[in-house]
Amino acid sequence: IIDDILDFSKIEAGHLELELRQFNLWNCAEESLEILAEEASSKGIELICDLDYAGPTALIGDVTRLRQVLVNLVTNAIKFTQEGEIVLSVSSTVLGSAESGEELRYRTEFSVRDTGIGIPEDRLEGIFGSFTQADTSTTRKYGGTGLGLAICQRLVALMGGEMTLKSKIGEGSDFRFTIESEGLFSTEFHHQQKAPRSLSKKKVLLVHGNDSARRVITELAAHRFAV
Ligand code: ADP
């Protein structure tokens, strides 16, 4: 709570400065889920990472703050979901060439979708406000301060993006945000990710009870095994 209040007042005072450093986008997404994997698994919730293998592997920006937003959204998703799945998806589109030369500018979209309790329609608009919760029983049932989303929305705005939300009561929520930054498609990194040649042209039998997990693992296998 103290961290939240400090972050919030720093942002409101206009004193939060973002770092501009190259970071690995895939690792950032995977690490954000890894931190919360045990919590999700103890509730029996499927936690899925859906990456865009054709997109950039590295972006230039503030990885700590990006991870903070992702961890916050996934923590909420776990908190407000009793069963089903949480899918973190990352996809990028090219905006044009970057000023610095070799790199390209990308818009990267992140989505954290859950199959949880959802948010009532009349609360959607105000949910990013500070100290706002979906209903008065939330604090009693789930705890929290109502600052997390306010901080996320402001951090995303500082990163040149925008956060939106779609939610249906009883069906789940989908929090999305975009950031704009320079990025790098590293063929060397892609190469390191490939499975050994000896495994190419082999058949894979994939058995999984969850549709989203099956789709994501199929894409991952296609990416890793393509020579
Ligand atoms: P906190 O979680 O500390 O209450 P947040 O700002 O992170 O504060 O969230 C505000 C409110 O938005 C929550 O109290 C909850 O009512 C609602 N909310 C956030 N994420 C979700 C979600 N994934 N599913 C349902 N409700 C959510």
Residue 148 CB–ligand 1 contact under 6 Å: yes
Alpha carbon nearest to ligand 1 atom 20, residue: 76
The predicted model gives 119-138 an average pLDDT of 81
pLDDT band of residue 140 (cuts 50, 70, 90) is: low
> Is the four-CA dihedral 170, 109, 12, 144 of positive or negative sign?
positive
- Residues 170, 175, 180: CA angle, nearest 5 degrees: 170
pLDDT band of residue 227 (cuts 50, 70, 90) is: low
Alpha carbon distance 43, 54 (integer Å): 33
pLDDT at 27: 94
C-alpha 82 to ligand 1 mean position (Å): 14
C-alpha 129 to ligand 1 mean position (Å): 11
Give 195's DSSP letter. Answer: P
Q: Which of 22-36, 115-129, 135-149, 206-220 has the lowest mean pLDDT?
A: 135-149
pLDDT digits (tens, 9 = 90+) for 90-99: 999 999 886 6
pLDDT digits (tens, 9 = 90+) for 41-66: 999 999 999 999 888 999 999 999 99
pLDDT at 100: 65
Mean pLDDT in the chain?
Answer: 89
CB 179 within 8 A of CB 156: yes
pLDDT at 119: 93
pLDDT band of residue 101 (cuts 50, 70, 90) is: low
C-alpha 224 to ligand 1 mean position (Å): 36
pTM, rounded to two decimals? 0.90
For residue 132, which amino acid is it? T
Identify which of 68, 117, 133, 152 to mutate to test ligand 1's pocket (most ligand atoms within 8 A of the CB): 133
